[in-house]
Amino acid sequence: MQYDKTMTGVHRGAQASGSRVTILIIEDDPSMQKVLERTFLERGYAVTACGEGRAGLGAFRAEQPVAVMLDLMLPDIIGRDLCKLMKAEHPETPVIVVSAISEVADKVSLLEIGADDYVTKPFSPRELIARVERVLKRPQRPLTTIATYTVGECEIDFVKMTAHRRGKPLALTSHAFKLLKYFLDNAERVLSREELLNEVWGYERYPTTRTVDNQILKLRQNLEPDSAEPRYLQTVHGVGYKFVP
């Protein structure tokens, strides 16, 4: 198995076949890449691996992998930017960040732009497989079937994943769209932070629920006539939040 670190270099595990789902590995360290490859090949997955961000993005678009293992420290594209781009194109594809960076603030910022999980190096292969398979088994909740929805002065297009306020575009992350959809599906129901983390982010356990509060704050700043006095995304003190149409 030959490692290729050129911008277009992509190689596949020798056992890969078209009948098996593909894990895409974007990792520029040859030894770590081999560890990740071996971990998933031994579990029966097909593997596509590459050492640079542009090659990884090309493989992501061509292969349509079932999940992505993403390193943050890539030589050509910042991993955070690559994650955001992939989730914007295919928000349903899980992206699991595998990085030596362990600060909670960095994990929170990655989850807010769409990462589905975060594994810190060094890691246990067994734990990594368990995390990936938990994400893959997560049911794809059928959220709102409507193509567009109006919240006050804002027009939300859930198909194109675009939002406008008085004709001006709003910069909403993929998780912001997921969160808003979940609120619409559960209008008038009080939702706890823990439920939102589990159902929208896919986490039953997480170091802090502040990521929910931060995302709610950003949604209010974009959608509410007055974010200090929210009309739609209301706080239920001591419990959580609810959406009032």
Contact assessment for residue 175 and residue 111, using Cβ atoms and an 8 Å cutoff: yes
Domains of the chain: 10-137 (3.40.50.2300), 148-243 (1.10.10.10)
DSSP 218: H
Q: What is the pLDDT at residue 87?
A: 84
Mind listing the pLDDT tens digit for each residue in 192-214? Answer: 888 888 778 775 545 466 788 88
Q: How far is CA 201 from CA 102, 111, 135, 156, 225, in A?
A: 19, 8, 10, 20, 27
Give the pLDDT confidence score for residue 14 in this predicted structure: 42
What is the band of 16 on the pLDDT scale with cuts at 50, 70, 90? Answer: very low
Q: What is the pLDDT of residues 111-164, one digit of tens each?
A: 767 788 888 888 899 989 988 988 887 655 444 455 678 888 999 988 788 899
**pLDDT score of 7:** 35
pTM above 0.85, yes or no: no
Q: DSSP per residue over 74-85, as a string?
A: -SSS-HHHHHHH
The per-residue b/e assignment along 36-49, b for 16 or more CB within 10 angstroms, e otherwise, is bbebbbeeebbbbb
Confidence of residue 105 (pLDDT cuts 50, 70, 90): low
Q: Which of 30, 218, 202 is nearest to 132 (CA)?
A: 202
Q: Which residue has the higher pLDDT, 232 or 92?
A: 232
% of the chain residues with pLDDT over 90: 39
